[in-house]
Chains A and B, each alone.
Chain A
């Protein structure tokens, strides 16, 4: 039996909720409202005159080739980050699920990257991949592979993908490990007795039983790659070289803060807002269904 506390009136509940509501209002609703309002306005270059332009900012954004390129970058980047972060995490979780010596230390170490701030993570990878001072970067150049992510767009993309994925591996790892541990041991033993070797067992029993976790993580990782990687990109490549690593979220910043084109920047962030709401809805729908097989 679940215990339900029922309050009389509205004053006390409101008071108890007030801190959370205040934070939501100040940091989410107000800026979101401001962005929506800003997205239908246009200012002149000096910020002296502001006029209402309706949906024109949106129309301009959607046909802008630069925006489309950023959208394509985002797609490539997010897909790569999500799949690599999940694949690596799943592999590590499978290893951790075996009863190995020092499993606890191994698990603890794996969780650390999650606690590292994005900028710090970026600097860490910079020290590894910088062409002249980075450990790996120098080695690559000495081995005759021309490595300079400041000139080569493809390499820059690879670097931000690696750094962003690395940060997300911990989170995925925890969920995959929990998912693996919730699979009854006897089911795996039954499969072993049925004649399935470990690899076969993994693909026909373990992986299908993990599918709820996998789907949940897919959404979380995509949202992460879309919206939470600004810090890593900013510190590593600043969107460059050229616009090679400029994702949609980074473009919002470039447009609004560097080019001071507030109307367009606001329209872009509203588009992103709609996207994240859509993803959240998909995820909630899914979680409600809970049992999937």
Chain B
């Protein structure tokens, strides 16, 4: 039984359709990260799960129970907000105890549970303070504490780390992951940061304009992106896209930039002459002084152990490469090879991934 099940979730605000039918099944204890560009509907989806918005269509089931029409209070969930949303007039203790008090938990038990959660999060010394007397990171922990004391069926996180500085963000990221594993609570985590998504999620939902473009493990998404959007969104620097057409009965591609590349994993179904987009990650580019493609360099970014090169191919297409070690940028040109084994093949018309035929 799935711990959370979304079926055909659609949402329109007036005439604007924000979500176009999202399906998702989350297993018990799984951490799902919803990632996508700003405005693609991540928060809206999360708020529908929380019961703060009602879907125009579709259903939400939590732990096998239909909750679509229920109030947030009846869903047994907890949520951590981007701005933490702590109760400003209550102490840290009261903030964390509020939900338990409403559920009529006995006083002794409240004290014990809040104490435990505070210990776990390292905020035991702050229980008497008001939220405005806390730093951003401490507020973040209190918000986490408020979520975990209730021992809900589902955690929802809406970009909880985006207000923290870079260092604290990395630290809290690891902490959230550890905590989530330890408590084993099913979680949905919304972010627009792909590093956060890759490191936190058991599986990712990459959202694009109200659709779930791909739902898969981080490695799967990186290795086999379902379409050009996902391919370009995950990975840094972003994947290169080159135009080409299918040739030799589907066994190779003729790039606009010149060369013919033979697919290493077998032929693609499709008529010769079909327009393709070939994806290649910058880190898969290799130097090849003899047979490589000429790259006219615009910009060289040395990162110490690696160097990122930006330039243009003979056809005028932009290309980025990430190479090991220092690269002598003499002459402003370089010859690079595209390894056939690392190609991602997409249909130019639909943007969908084309896998090798059966």
Contacts and interface: CB of A to CB of B under 8 A. Distances in A.
Contacts of B89: 205, 208-209, 211, 293
Contacts of B52: 189, 192-193
Contacts of B50: 189, 193
A197 B102 CA distance: 9
B102 A186 contact: no
Contacts of A146: none
Contacts of A208: 89
A189 B72 CA distance: 9
Interface residues of B, number: 24
Contacts of A193: 50-52, 72-73, 77-79, 99
B130 interface: yes
Interface string B59-92: 0000000000001110001110101011111000
A293 B274 CA distance: 67
A186 to B, nearest CB: 4
A205 B102 CA distance: 13
A23 B289 CA distance: 90
Interface in B31-52: 50-52
A44 interface: no
B229 interface: no
B146 interface: yes
B203 interface: no
B85 A194 contact: no
Interface string A5-20: 0000000000000000
B87 A190 contact: yes
A191 interface: yes
A196 B97 CA distance: 12
A65 interface: no
A184 interface: yes
Is the contact region of chain B dominated by helix, strand, or loop, or is it mixed? loop
A68 interface: no
Contacts, number: 64
Given A195-B99, A195-B103, A190 B73 contact: no
B78 A195 contact: no
Contacts of B71: 192, 197
B150 interface: yes
Interface residues of A, number: 20
A217 to B, nearest CB: 18
B320 to A, nearest CB: 39
A189 B85 contact: yes
B102 A196 contact: yes
B102 A190 contact: no
Interface in A108-151: none
A187 interface: yes
A192 B85 contact: no
Interface string A169-191: 00000000000000010110111
Contact of A194 (B51, B83, B88, B98): B98
A69 B353 CA distance: 89
B130 A191 contact: no
Given A190-B85, A193-B73, A194-B150, 14 more contacts: A187-B87, A189-B50, A189-B72, A189-B85, A190-B86, A191-B87, A192-B51, A192-B71, A194-B73, A195-B103, A196-B73, A196-B102, A291-B132, A293-B130
Kindly list the 6 A-B residue pairs having the minimum CB-CB distance in the complex, ordered from nearest.
A194-B99, A186-B85, A293-B89, A190-B85, A195-B73, A195-B102
9 contacts: A187-B85, A190-B86, A190-B87, A192-B51, A193-B72, A193-B77, A194-B98, A204-B98, A293-B89
Interface of B: 50-52, 71-73, 77-79, 81, 83, 85-89, 98-99, 102-103, 130, 132, 146, 150
Interface of A: 184, 186-187, 189-197, 200, 204-205, 208-209, 211, 291, 293
